[in-house]
């Protein structure tokens, strides 16, 4: 997957979450706010980091975006399970798949696993 395709996937997924999930989260303002902020941040990081050379890329930002994708997957899972009467469960499942793919591609680009990020700090 090329970086422009990765950006497009993250941007399209963020729009789907903002339009199709966030407005229908019932009563939990914290989840709504965190999800909204995270899905807006991922495409921004991808766009900012991939305009420069791969050698100049800040791996920590890419890992941060990958960690956000993992968190987004968890929040979407909660929305699917607990707000199923308001949120389209099938759409949430598709978005979880998209964010999982984005996370995996970001980890692949920097050669890291977000579960092993502590090694990058040292």
Q: Where are the domains of the chain?
A: 3-121
Q: How would you label 82-117 residue by residue, b for 16+ Cβ within 10 Å and e otherwise? A: ebeeebbeebbeebbebbebbbebbbebbebebeeb
What integer is the mean pLDDT of 36-61? 81
Range 48-72 average pLDDT: 80
Could you tell me the two tokens for 35? 């999800």
Question: How far apart are alpha carbons 118 and 23 in whole angstroms?
Answer: 35
User: pLDDT tens digits, residue range 12-46?
Assistant: 999 999 999 999 888 778 889 999 999 999 999 98
Q: For the range 21-30, what are the long-range contacts, defined as Cβ-Cβ under 8 Å and sequence gap of 24 or more?
A: 21/76, 21/79, 21/87, 21/88, 21/91, 21/92, 21/95, 24/83, 24/86, 24/87, 25/79, 25/83, 25/86, 25/87, 26/83, 26/86
The span from the CA of 121 to the CA of 76, in Å, is 29
Interval 73-96: pLDDT, tens = 999 999 998 887 788 889 999 999
Kindly report the pTM of this predicted structure.
0.85
Which pLDDT belongs to residue 2? 77
Class of domain 3-121: mainly alpha
Alpha carbon 41 to its chain centroid, in Å, reads: 8
Is residue 1 over pLDDT 80? no
pLDDT higher than 50, residue 121: no
Q: Can you give the pLDDT at residue 91?
A: 94
């Amino acid at each position: 997957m090329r970086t422009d395709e990765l950006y497009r996937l993250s941007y399209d997924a963020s729009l789907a979450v903002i339009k199709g999930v966030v407005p229908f989260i019932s009563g939990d303002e914290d989840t709504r706010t965190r999800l909204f902020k995270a899905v807006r941040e991922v495409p921004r990081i991808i766009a900012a980091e991939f305009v420069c050379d791969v050698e100049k890329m800040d791996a920590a930002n890419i890992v941060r975006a990958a960690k956000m994708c993992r968190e987004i997957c968890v929040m979407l899972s909660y929305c699917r399970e607990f707000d199923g009467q308001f949120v389209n469960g099938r759409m949430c499942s598709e978005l979880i798949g998209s964010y999982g793919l984005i996370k995996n591609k970001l980890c692949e680009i920097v050669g890291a696993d977000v579960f092993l990020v502590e090694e990058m700090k040292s």
